[in-house]
Amino acid sequence: MTYLPFAYPLPALITLIAAWLVLGMLGLLQPQRVGWVARMLFPLGALVALGVAAVAVSALRAGFTPQVLVLPLGLPDLPFHLRLDALSGFFLMLLGIAGAGISIFAAGYFRRGEGTSPGLLGLQYHVFLASMALVVLADDAYLFMLAWETMALSSYFLVTSQHRIAEIRRAGFIYLLMAHIGALSILLCFGALHGGNWTMTFDAMRGASLSPAWADVAFCLALFGFGAKAGLFPVHIWLPEAHPAAPSPVSAMMSGLMLKTAIYGLLRVSMDLMHTGPWWWGLVTMLIGLFTALFGVVFAAVQTDMKRLLAYSSIENIGLIIAAVGLALLARSFDMNLLAALALAAALIHAFNHALFKSLLFLATGSVLHATGERNLGKLGGLIRYMPWVAMLALVGTLAIAGLPPLNGFVSEWLLLQAFLSTPAIPHSFINMIVPLGAAAVALTAALAGYVMVKFYGVIFLGQPREAQLERAHDAGVLERIGLAWLALGCILIGVFPQVALDAAASVTRALTGAAVQRGGTIWWIAPVSPAQASYSGLWLLAGLLGVVAVVFVIVRLFYHGRVRRVPPWDCGYRWLTPRMQDTAEGFGQPIRRIFGPFFRIEREVPAPDDAQPHYAIRIEDRTWRAIYAPITATVRRLADAVAVLQRGRLAVYLLYSFLTLIVLLMFVI
């Protein structure tokens, strides 16, 4: 490790981040030339991302001492503090690895004439990346907030890059507003955290001793603020609006990377900056997380827009991660460090996995969008024949996000379940009763995720094309394929060598909980608690599966005569078989709609039996809109109308105000 960037990781990272910004600036030289911006700068950006990941990994070695750096910027008495420790290292690694894939894909993705000019887009894109990296590295409240809001701002501009479309503007507005509210609450959280001594560096906060009341306030503010960014229920509403509105690489970054910064923030504040809190912190967090997960997946199942579907699925995954964090906090409050470490590891690894497969899927939808110009599931289908590459790589992502062995999604869910199963040791009967239900919720969510993903993949790529023009769809370009393949490879590798991910997480858990889940012996085993309790080997599973399949294949080939006829499928006795006979997206989601009816606000339009042109329409709404947000908006409007009474244009009345103000204030003095 004498190699220079690893000897001085922080300066190296700063340089790389600066390189991102420079690349963004360079884009403005010839903002209209896609060749220059996309084909030239974005691949470089991807290289930088790889560099970031490489340096970050070095921070995950066992026995790595946190590095601190102070830049001569920022407030006069609060210069920018940066710190690279295991936690930030882990999230930087996530950022770098997934970011590289996305950048490569984006290099092939961006075209001219789509809203903002490529150069500007490139600038916002790289500022977005850089700000996320800074969020993770920040070691004082000011720099953190600065990077945090810059992140929100740049992503806002990326979301609204096609600002001519009304609902994209709306999505952008909601997004920025929620982001701002969340940021304010985080800011106040820091305001509470410094605990009397006015130094706002994280180091000072670690040292500060808070009264229980202030600690509770700070935690709730943090949970709300970071939850608003992560998309926790009920402050999730911006997410399904903003993610579909953005260009696909941006959706991938927001879903895959930006949401993770919220997880990072919550971990940093609740487990690093603050001391161990009361058990209800963990419980509340866990319950909110679980409900969010269930909520997200149920809504994902009934979506008809492929990107909205993925957005809701992001809500689900975030919910699972937060639930794991909550479990970790819970265990921590009972000083069960090993359990805390296990839950935390599950959270971290799931965050990493989600970054990989969610980016992969969003990018795939991007390719589909470019190939077909369709986002509506009802107008897609059968693309596996026209874009085999995307289909194949998307399949990996689909299986991974569905949590199927031997891919990575399963690993983290497995760890999460193991963590939930270890809770009966908690010395608190009430929690003992609740947590198994949590395990049940996780199981249900995971199973529903499978349902959702079958719908996603099946409706887009399988079956017959639902529209004629889909047959002209073309496969993605080389750069896009590389990007997708990179992420898919990540999904497979982590699935097959879970121990690697576990080791990476271990250094974080050691730093935050003081414990680490034990190695499962060799590299292809994980047995977090003990081999007797549970063990899993993705590699052997894959090997076994492939082996059996191969053997069966060979045997069949040996004994089977191998005659295969290609014929039109059976048309069930009709005269012909049209694509419209397949399930629509709505149709596929119908069971969920029936079973989870209370979740939704459904408006149906059922045609009359004697209708000449029968038309069936269904709209499914999120209840939170009417339950929470509509009333708030209405109240603000009413108040806005109310205050207007104060200003009716009568000069005499205005003078009266001054007069009364004078009198009232005088009353105070005498």
Partner 1 sequence: MNMIALLRQLAEALLAVALAPLLAGWVAQCRAWLQNRSAPSLLQPYRKLRKLFHKDAVLAEHASPLFRITPYVVFGTMVLAAAIIPSVTTDMPFARVADAIALVGLFATARVFMALAAMDIGTAFGTLGARREMMVGFLAEPALLMVLFNAFLMYGSTALPTVVHGALAAHGLILRPSLAFAGVAFVMVLLAENGRIPIDNPTTHLELTMIHEAMLLEYSALHLALMEWAAWLKLFNYACIGFALFAPWGIALHADTTSPLLLALALLLLKLAVAGGALAVIETVSAKLRVFRAPEFLSTAFLLAVLGILVHLQLRS
Partner 2 sequence: MHMPSLATQFLHVLAAGLLMISFAMLAQRRIRRLIVLLAWQGAMLSASTLLVAITAHQSHLYYSAALTLALKVIVLPWILMRLMKRLGIAGDIEPLVNISTLLLVGLALVIFAFGLAQPISALATTVTRQALGIALAVILLAFLMIIARRKAVTQVIGILALENGLFFAATSATYGMPMVVELGIALDLLVGVFVFGIFFFHIREQFDSLDLHHFEALKED
Partner 3 sequence: MELLLVLVTPLLGALLLAFAGAHRRAPEINVTTSLATLGFAVLLVLRVIRHGPMTVANEQFFVDPFNVFLIALTAFVGFTTALFSRPYMRIEEDRGRLTPARLRLYHSMYQMFMASMLVALSTNNMGLLWVAMEAATLSTVLLVSLYRTRESIEAAWKYFILCGVGIALALFGTILLYVAAEGVLGHEGMHALLWTHLNAVKGHMEPTVVGLAFVFLLVGYGTKVGLAPLHNWLPDAHAEGPTPVSAVLSGLLLNVAMYAVVRCKVLADGAMHSLLPGRMLMALGLLSMLLAGFFLWRQRDIKRLFGYSSIEHMGIISFAFGMGGPLANFAALLHMTVHSLTKSAIFFTAGHAAQVADTQRIDGIRGLLVVSPTVGWGLMLGTLAILGTPPFGVFTSEYLVLTTAMRDHPRAIPVLLIALVVAFAGIFRHVQPMVFGETDAKPLPHSPALLPVFAHLALVLMLGVYIPPALAHLYRLAAHLIG
Chain residues binding partner 3 by CB under 8 A are 73-76, 141-142, 145-146, 148-150, 152-153, 160, 163-164, 166, 169, 172-173, 176-177, 180-181, 184, 187-188, 190-192, 194, 196, 198, 200, 636-637, 639-644, 646-647, 651, 654-655, 657-658, 661-662, 665-666, 668-670
Q: Report d(CA 46, CA 122) in Å as an integer.
A: 12
Interatomic CA distance for residues 484 and 97, integer angstroms: 12
The Cα-based distances of 470 to 300, 382, 466, 617, 653 in angstroms read: 24, 8, 8, 23, 68
In angstroms, rounded to a whole number, what is the distance separating the alpha carbons of residues 17 and 589? Answer: 43
565 contacts partner 1 (rule: CB under 8 A): yes
Applying CB under 8 A, among 558, 663, 664, 665 the residue interacting with partner 2 is 663
The three-state DSSP-derived secondary structure of 158-204 is HHHHHCCCHHHHHHHHHHHHHHHHHHHHHHHHHHHHCCCCCCCEHHH
Q: Residue 314 binds which one of partner 3, partner 1, partner 2, none, with CB within 5 to 8 A depending on kind?
A: none
Least distance CB 335 / partner 1 (angstroms): 20
On whether the CB atoms of residues 364 and 106 are closer than 8 A, the answer is: no
Q: How far is the CB of 638 from partner 2 (least distance, A)?
A: 14
Binding string, residues 28-57; x marks residues near partner 1 by CB under 8 A? ------------------------------
Question: Contacting partner 1 (CB under 8 A), which of 570, 608, 638, 651?
Answer: 570
* 310's tokens: 């993925």
Q: For residue 614, say if its preceding peptide bond is cis, omega within 30 degrees of 0.
A: no
Residue 410-429 contact track with partner 1, rule CB under 8 A, x = bound: x---x--xx--x--x----x
Judge whether 245 and 167 are in contact, CB under 8 Å. yes
Contacts with partner 1, 376-415, as mask; x by CB under 8 A: -----xx-xx---------x---x--xxxx----x---x-
What is d(CA 108, CA 34) in angstroms, rounded to the nearest whole number? Answer: 10
- Cβ-based nearer residue to partner 1, 195 or 579: 579
160 binds, among partner 3, partner 1, partner 2, none (CB under 5 to 8 A by kind): partner 3
Residue from 552, 627, 655, 661 touching partner 2 (CB under 8 A): that is 655
Binding mask of the shown chain, residues 624 to 643, with x at each position contacting partner 2 by CB under 8 A? -------------------x
According to CB under 8 A, which one of 177, 433, 478, 653 is a site residue for partner 1?
A: 433
- Count CB atoms within 10 A of the CB of residue 73: 10
**312 near partner 1, judged by CB under 8 A:** no
664 lines the binding site for partner 2 (CB under 8 A): no
- Name the residue nearer to partner 2 (CB basis): 563 or 648: 648
Phi and psi angles of residue 376, each rounded to the nearest 5 degrees, phi first = -80, 120
567 is a contact residue toward partner 2 (CB under 8 A): no
Question: Within 10 Å of residue 582's Cβ, how many Cβ atoms?
Answer: 17
Residue 651 in contact with partner 2, rule: CB under 8 A:
yes
Question: C-alpha distances in angstroms, 647 versus 160, 651, 653, 655, 658?
Answer: 36, 9, 9, 12, 13
Shortest approach of partner 2 to residue 413 CB, angstroms?
56
- Give the containing element (helix H, strand E) for 615: none
Within 10 angstroms of residue 493's Cβ, the number of other Cβ atoms is 16
Partner whose binding site includes residue 573, from partner 3, partner 1, partner 2, none (CB under 5 to 8 Å by kind)? none
In this structure, the number of other CB atoms found within 10 A of the CB of residue 167 comes to 10
Return the residue of 22, 25, 444, 628 that touches partner 1, per CB under 8 A.
444
Instruction: For partner 3, give the closer residue by CB, 265 or 520.
Output: 265
Task: Name which position in 5, 11, 115, 450 contacts partner 1 (CB under 8 A).
Answer: 450
Task: Extract the tokens encoding 215.
Answer: 């600690």
Tokens found for residue 118: 């490529």
Contact status: 564 vs partner 2 (CB under 8 A): no
Both tokens of 144, joined, read 């953190």
Tell me which residues touch partner 2 (CB under 8 A): 643-644, 646-652, 655-656, 659, 663, 666, 670
